[in-house]
């Protein structure tokens, strides 16, 4: 019995050392002052989104948690207000699988809030099926959306030149969040220990988004791709300006935007996706 306990203790110690030794944890160099700034964080009730919202609230920002589930969103907002002492944290309902919900959220926000300074497009899902507008949610489409995010930031930066609005695509790293709650049951006994050992936690995964949202001097890199809080060069398809433009134009058609006489809404100072 004693040897069994000793062996288990040594195994646990080795596991913990490996966990902390193999994972990288980039951190913000300092905590910026964000009082008077308003931020939207999509998917802000859990995971990377909640960690991002928590840190922005600690910096004094007014933070809107834009998420689908009202009870979870309200609970997350209360938790962040309590932990930070920042009363300017609120929930607004947004289901990104519904263009009707997206339009309703945008209208409500513009009526309620005079300014938007930071937009953190954090929400993600990989569950299968389709949205109410007929867009596909299988796993491969989730993977393809990562390339689309990088291309979208590239084209958005081109269209926003001269406006003082900047945008960045970020890779948070491999992060152990609820995104993997739909992992098949037979795979979880293998996957979950590996995720705990090798993957970042949510607070660590939030660092690159926070870096791009708050650090001064990055403006000249608008439209570029960041990982581990550093500028990175993505694969060649993600640097294709013609592909980025074609994706933008196709996206406008799919969501019903960009028609004659349609004026864009006021843009935030920084967009992170």
Q: Pairing relation of β-strands 166-171 and 118-120?
A: unpaired
Q: What is the pLDDT of residue 71?
A: 96
Q: Which domains does the chain have, with CATH numbers?
A: 33-257+267-272 (3.40.50.720)
Q: What is the pLDDT of residue 272?
A: 72
The answer to whether residue 127 scores a pLDDT higher than 90 is no
69: exposed, middle or buried (C-beta count within 10 Å: 0-12, 13-18, 19+)? middle
Tokens of 87: 């009363």
Q: What is the pLDDT of residue 177?
A: 67
**Residue-wise pLDDT tens digits, 179-223:** 555 555 655 556 566 666 667 888 999 999 999 999 999 999 999
Average pLDDT estimate for 243-258: 90
* % of the chain residues with pLDDT over 70: 72
Q: What is the pLDDT of residue 234?
A: 92
Q: What is the pTM of this model?
A: 0.80
Q: What is the pLDDT of residue 228?
A: 92
**Residue-wise pLDDT tens digits, 3-24:** 565 555 555 545 555 555 555 5
The answer to whether residue 112 scores a pLDDT higher than 70 is yes
Per annotation, catalytic residue among 15, 142, 168, 225:
142
CA pair distance 72, 69, nearest whole angstrom: 6
CA pair distance 171, 150, nearest whole angstrom: 9
Instruction: Reply yes or no on whether 142 is catalytic.
Output: yes
């Amino acid at each position: 019995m004693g040897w069994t306990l000793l062996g288990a203790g040594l195994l646990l110690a080795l596991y913990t050392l490996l966990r902390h030794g193999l994972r990288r944890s980039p951190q913000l160099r300092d905590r910026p002052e964000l009082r008077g700034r308003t931020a939207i964080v999509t998917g802000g009730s859990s995971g990377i989104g909640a960690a991002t919202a928590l840190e922005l609230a600690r910096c004094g920002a007014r933070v809107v948690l834009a998420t689908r589930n009202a009870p979870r969103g309200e609970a997350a907002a209360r938790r962040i207000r309590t932990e930070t002492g920042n009363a300017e944290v609120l929930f607004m309902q947004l289901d990104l699988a519904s263009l009707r919900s997206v339009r309703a959220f945008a209208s409500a926000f513009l009526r309620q809030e005079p300014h938007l300074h930071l937009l953190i497009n954090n929400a993600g899902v990989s569950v299968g099926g389709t949205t109410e507008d007929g867009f596909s949610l299988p796993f491969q489409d989730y993977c393809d959306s990562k390339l689309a995010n990088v291309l979208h930031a590239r084209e958005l930066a081109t269209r926003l030149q001269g406006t003082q609005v900047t945008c960045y695509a970020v890779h948070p790293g491999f992060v152990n969040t609820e995104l993997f709650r739909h992992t098949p049951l037979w795979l979880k006994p293998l996957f979950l220990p590996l995720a705990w050992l090798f993957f970042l936690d949510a607070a660590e995964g939030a660092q690159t988004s926070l870096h791009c949202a708050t650090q001064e001097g990055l403006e000249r890199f608008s439209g570029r791709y960041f990982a581990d809080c550093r500028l990175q060069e993505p694969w060649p398809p993600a640097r294709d300006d013609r592909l980025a433009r074609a994706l933008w134009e196709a996206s406008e058609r799919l969501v019903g935007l960009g028609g004659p006489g349609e004026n864009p809404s006021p843009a935030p100072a920084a967009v992170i996706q």
